[in-house]
Amino acid sequence: MTGLKLWTAAEVDGGAEPALASVLRWSQEYLVSPHPDLGRTGPVCPYTQPSLRKNLFYLALPESTDLAASVAALRSCHARLAADLDPDDQELLTLLLVLPDLDHTDSTELDLVQRKAKDEFVADGLMIGQFHPVCAEPGLWNPGFRPLRSPVPLLAVRQMLVFDLLFLVDDFGHADSYLRRFAPAIPARVRDQLITRLVTRSYSEAMSA
C-alpha cells in the first residue's frame, strides 16, 4: 500500500520489526482481556479477538516522516481492504499505524494528529483512536482508568459501529455523522445512556452558568 508498509498479525508473529511485535503482543494480551479498572465486563476491546481470529488485524509502519500523509494513506488503505470484504468482515477490519519514532514520553503530537484526522474519518464512517504510553484519555466507564496506553505510539482505525455513539456524543458534527448512519438502529440501552449523559451534561452546564 502506498505510504505504508503493511503486515498481517500472522506475518508479525513470524518475525518483523520489534515495535510491531511489541504492539501485537499488547493487542493479544491486553486488548483481548478484561481489566479490573475498566468499569464494565468483557475485554478492553471487544473487537480485537474476533479481528485476530478472522485474520483481519493489520499492523503498519509509515514509509516517510510525513505523518499527515501516512494518516491519509491509512484511510485509503482501510477503504481498499474493506472493498473486498462482506459487511460482517468489514466491521472487524482493524488497522494499527505504529509510530515508534514519536516521543514516547509526551502524547501531544499524537493527540493533535488524531484530533485533526477524526472529522474526516468519522464522516467516512470510520473510528480513529490514539494509543500512547502516557495517553491521558480517561475511560468511558471509569474516568480513573487510562485504557489507551500502549507500549508504542499508534493510531487505530476500524469501521464505525452502532455502539460507538458514546465516543462521539461530545462533538455535534461527529454525533451527526453517526446519527445519519445509525439512527434507525440505535439500541434502547445506548439511547438510554445517551439521554443520561446529555441530561447530566446539561445539568452541570446549568449549575456552572
pLDDT of res. 140 = 85
Asked if residue 203 and residue 172 are part of one domain, the reply reads yes
Asked if residue 122 and residue 34 are part of one domain, the reply reads yes
Q: Are 166 and 197 in contact (CB under 8 A)?
A: yes
pLDDT of res. 189 = 72
Asked if residue 169 and residue 79 are part of one domain, the reply reads no
pLDDT of res. 187 = 73
Rg (CA), the chain: 17
Total domain count for the chain?
2
Q: What are phi and psi of 38, to 5 degrees?
A: -65, -35
pLDDT of res. 47 = 92
pLDDT of res. 203 = 46
Asked if residue 100 and residue 17 are part of one domain, the reply reads yes
Cell output for 190:
445506548
Q: Are 159 and 91 in contact (CB under 8 A)?
A: yes
- Give residue 205's domain range: 162-209
Q: Are 155 and 128 in contact (CB under 8 A)?
A: yes
Asked if residue 50 and residue 19 are part of one domain, the reply reads yes
Asked if residue 167 and residue 152 are part of one domain, the reply reads no
Q: What predicted TM-score, i.e. pTM, was given to this entire model? A: 0.82
Asked if residue 94 and residue 42 are part of one domain, the reply reads yes
Asked if residue 204 and residue 121 are part of one domain, the reply reads no
One digit per residue, the tens of pLDDT, for the chain of length 209 reads: 468 999 999 999 766 689 999 999 999 999 999 999 999 999 999 999 999 999 999 999 999 889 999 999 999 999 999 999 999 999 999 999 999 999 999 999 999 999 999 889 988 889 999 999 999 999 988 999 999 999 999 999 999 876 766 666 666 667 667 777 766 666 767 766 665 665 565 445 545 55
Asked if residue 128 and residue 100 are part of one domain, the reply reads yes
Q: What are phi and psi of 157, to 5 degrees?
A: -130, 135
pLDDT of res. 13 = 79
pLDDT of res. 1 = 47
Asked if residue 166 and residue 135 are part of one domain, the reply reads no
Asked if residue 145 and residue 169 are part of one domain, the reply reads no
